[in-house]
């Protein structure tokens, strides 16, 4: 006689004043395979989330003989920056199981072999097919050896062949491990092939409209073919549900994503040089045909000659390095401040609602308006330029980082809820890696904005720097030299952006 592992009594749940689940009753016996099936939107996943503790029922009682369980979600929950083996080991890493590394290694290899992924331990999720990712999630659920494994339509996004293969695998695993499995699915055929018991749910507000006990026979082969008793159960369920809900098969699509061909360094240089030549000759033609005076802009070749001469005599380097020091110092100060404050604001809803409108409004204040105030406070040294650079970078970067952390937390919310990692693991292993691509995207823009901040400060007060060099050239009526620092500023911005793009490519490689 099998013992009851989990029992639900009169489970009810409402959302936005709408009853979703109404007096759901069920029993799950230890070592059995139980499926809940029903039409789309009837509340199957809601019931599963209540069982898993992700939601709380309005009424009713859930009684667990053993509250430990593993959960495989419908959406992909593998962390893309971890290898397959590291993803499978997440439960051990979070719970800090007191077993040796050698034992962990042995267990993870056994589980990976069980789900048919031997040889792919070092692969990242982006290097695996959809079916292989689901096998990896199943392996992560099995490694804890919990008595109950909950599956929320785990194969619904896969093509029919992959689904059938994984259902055969799931059937074999259930026999080999003798664990209890709870499956939510749309497919009557899938439920009959796998299950000992099937609970059929009606439309919203959902109730259990039928409870089918499937007489199991050992399958003669590994094909996805229902036995006679399973076919009988399938016909019974289809007859009962034909008037209650229509059997709408899930629309599945195989999406082939063509990898973006990256531009090589040589190709990028060629593109930039081509653009330079086009602008150079276009401005030369406009200058010559329009007889435009030097007051507006001199001949491009004159500016180019002065540009080269500043490189040869080295007179530009002190100005270039000054602007680089001011902009980079301001950028890194703003980056670390916004990284910390962005995370704090993103986890505190009160702070988020209170500060976000003010932060967005503050971003409208032009930096040139506060530059005189900063010079009054900090004098004519390097400090006001750095502060202006920080201010220009701060607000857009802070808003970007808040959004990055918020999106990362939403994306991996279920995983965090299920495993309940401590704050350091959650931050260092899940939230920051998940937010990094978006953070670096913001860095691409913010790094170039830091140059603007430095130059604004140099315009207002400074004897060195590219901004002050423009002022000096203007006072000397040296029109060619006025344009030379602009070229250096463009180059500096391009270098900052290129470095940020390289970092982004490295970070997003496995996202």
Q: Where are the domains of the chain?
A: 1-68+147-257, 77-145, 314-510
Phi/psi at 116 (5° precision) = 80, 30
Max CA separation in the chain (angstroms):
101
The CATH code belonging to domain 314-510 is 1.10.3720.10
Q: Which fold would CATH assign to domain 1-68+147-257?
A: Rossmann fold (3.40.50)
Q: Where does 178-264 have alpha helices with state H?
A: 188-194, 228-241
Ranges of beta strands (E only) in 44-179 are: 59-64, 69-72, 148-152
- What are the angstrom distances between the C-alpha of 178 and each of 3, 31, 66, 219, 276? 14, 5, 15, 17, 69
Q: Please state, in angstroms and rounded to a whole number, the distance separating the CA atoms of residues 111 and 94.
A: 18
> What is the secondary structure of 388-438 as a DSSP string?
HHHHHHHHHHHHHHHHHHHHHHHHTHHHHHHH---HHHIIIIIIHHHHHHH
Q: Parallel, antiparallel, or unpaired: how do β-strands 18-29 and 4-15 relate?
A: antiparallel
Whether pTM exceeds 0.75 = no
Q: What Å distances lie between residue 204 and 15, 38, 77, 209, 247, CA to CA?
A: 11, 10, 28, 12, 15
pLDDT tens digits in sequence order for the chain, 511 residues long: 678 888 888 889 888 778 888 888 888 888 888 888 888 777 888 888 888 888 888 888 888 876 677 888 777 888 888 888 888 888 888 776 667 778 878 888 888 888 888 888 888 888 888 778 888 888 888 887 777 888 888 777 677 777 777 878 887 777 777 788 888 888 888 888 888 888 888 877 788 888 888 876 655 556 667 777 777 887 888 877 776 664 443 333 333 333 445 555 556 567 666 777 787 778 778 877 877 777 777 878 888 888 888 888 888 899 899 999 999 999 999 999 999 999 998 888 888 788 777 777 777 777 667 767 777 777 777 888 888 888 888 888 998 999 999 998 888 887 887 777 888 888 888 888 889 889 998 898 888 888 888 888 777 776 788 888 888 888 888 888 888 888 899 889 888 988 888 888 887 776 6
């Amino acid at each position: 006689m099998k013992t009851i592992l989990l029992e639900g009594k009169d489970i009810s749940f409402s959302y936005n004043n709408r009853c979703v689940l109404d007096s759901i009753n069920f029993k799950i016996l230890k070592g059995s395979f139980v499926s809940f099936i029903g039409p789309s939107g009837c509340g199957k996943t809601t019931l599963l989330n209540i069982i898993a503790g992700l939601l709380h029922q309005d009424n009713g009682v859930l009684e667990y003989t053993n509250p430990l369980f593993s959960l495989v979600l419908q959406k992909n929950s593998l962390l893309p920056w971890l290898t397959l083996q590291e993803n499978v080991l997440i439960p051990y890493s979070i719970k800090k199981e007191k077993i040796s590394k050698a034992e962990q290694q042995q267990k993870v290899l056994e589980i990976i072999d069980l789900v048919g992924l031997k040889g792919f331990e070092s692969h990242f999720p982006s290097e695996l097919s959809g079916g292989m990712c689901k096998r990896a999630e199943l392996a992560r659920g099995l490694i804890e050896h919990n008595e109950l494994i909950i599956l929320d339509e785990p194969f619904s996004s896969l093509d029919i062949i992959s689904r059938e293969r994984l259902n055969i695998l799931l059937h074999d695993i259930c026999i080999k491990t003798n664990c209890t499995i709870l499956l939510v699915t749309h497919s009557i055929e899938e439920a009959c092939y796998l299950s000992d018991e099937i609970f059929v749910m009606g439309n919203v507000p959902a109730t259990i409209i039928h409870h089918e006990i499937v007489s199991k026979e050992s399958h003669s082969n590994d094909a996805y073919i229902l036995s006679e008793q399973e076919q009988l159960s399938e016909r019974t369920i289809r007859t009962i549900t034909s008037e209650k809900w229509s059997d709408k098969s899930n629309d599945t699509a195989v999406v082939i994503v063509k990898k973006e061909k990256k531009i090589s360094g040589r190709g990028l240089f060629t593109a930039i040089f081509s653009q330079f030549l086009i602008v150079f000759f276009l401005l030369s033609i406009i200058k010559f045909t329009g007889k435009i005076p030097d007051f507006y802009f001199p001949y491009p070749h004159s500016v180019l000659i002065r540009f080269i001469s500043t490189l040869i005599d080295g007179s530009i380097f002190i100005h270039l390095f000054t602007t680089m020091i001011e902009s980079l110092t301001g950028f890194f100060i703003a980056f670390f401040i916004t990284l910390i404050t962005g995370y704090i604001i993103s986890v505190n809803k009160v702070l988020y609602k209170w500060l976000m409108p003010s932060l967005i409004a503050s971003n409208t204040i032009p930096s040139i308006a506060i530059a005189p105030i900063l010079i009054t406070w900090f004098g004519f040294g390097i400090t006001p330029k750095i502060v202006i650079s920080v201010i220009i970078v701060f607000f857009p970067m802070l808003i970007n980082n808040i959004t990055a952390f918020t999106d990362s937390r939403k994306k991996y919310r279920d995983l965090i809820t299920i495993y309940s990692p401590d704050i350091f693991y959650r931050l260092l292993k899940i939230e920051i890696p998940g937010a990094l691509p978006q953070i670096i995207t913001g860095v691409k823009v913010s790094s170039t904005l830091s140059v603007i901040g430095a130059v604004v400060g140099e315009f207002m007060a400074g004897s060195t720097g590219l901004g002050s060099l423009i002022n000096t050239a203007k006072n000397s009526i040296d029109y060619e030299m006025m344009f030379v620092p602009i070229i250096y500023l463009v180059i500096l911005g391009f270098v900052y952006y290129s470095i940020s793009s390289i970092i982004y490519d490295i970070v997003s490689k496995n996202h």
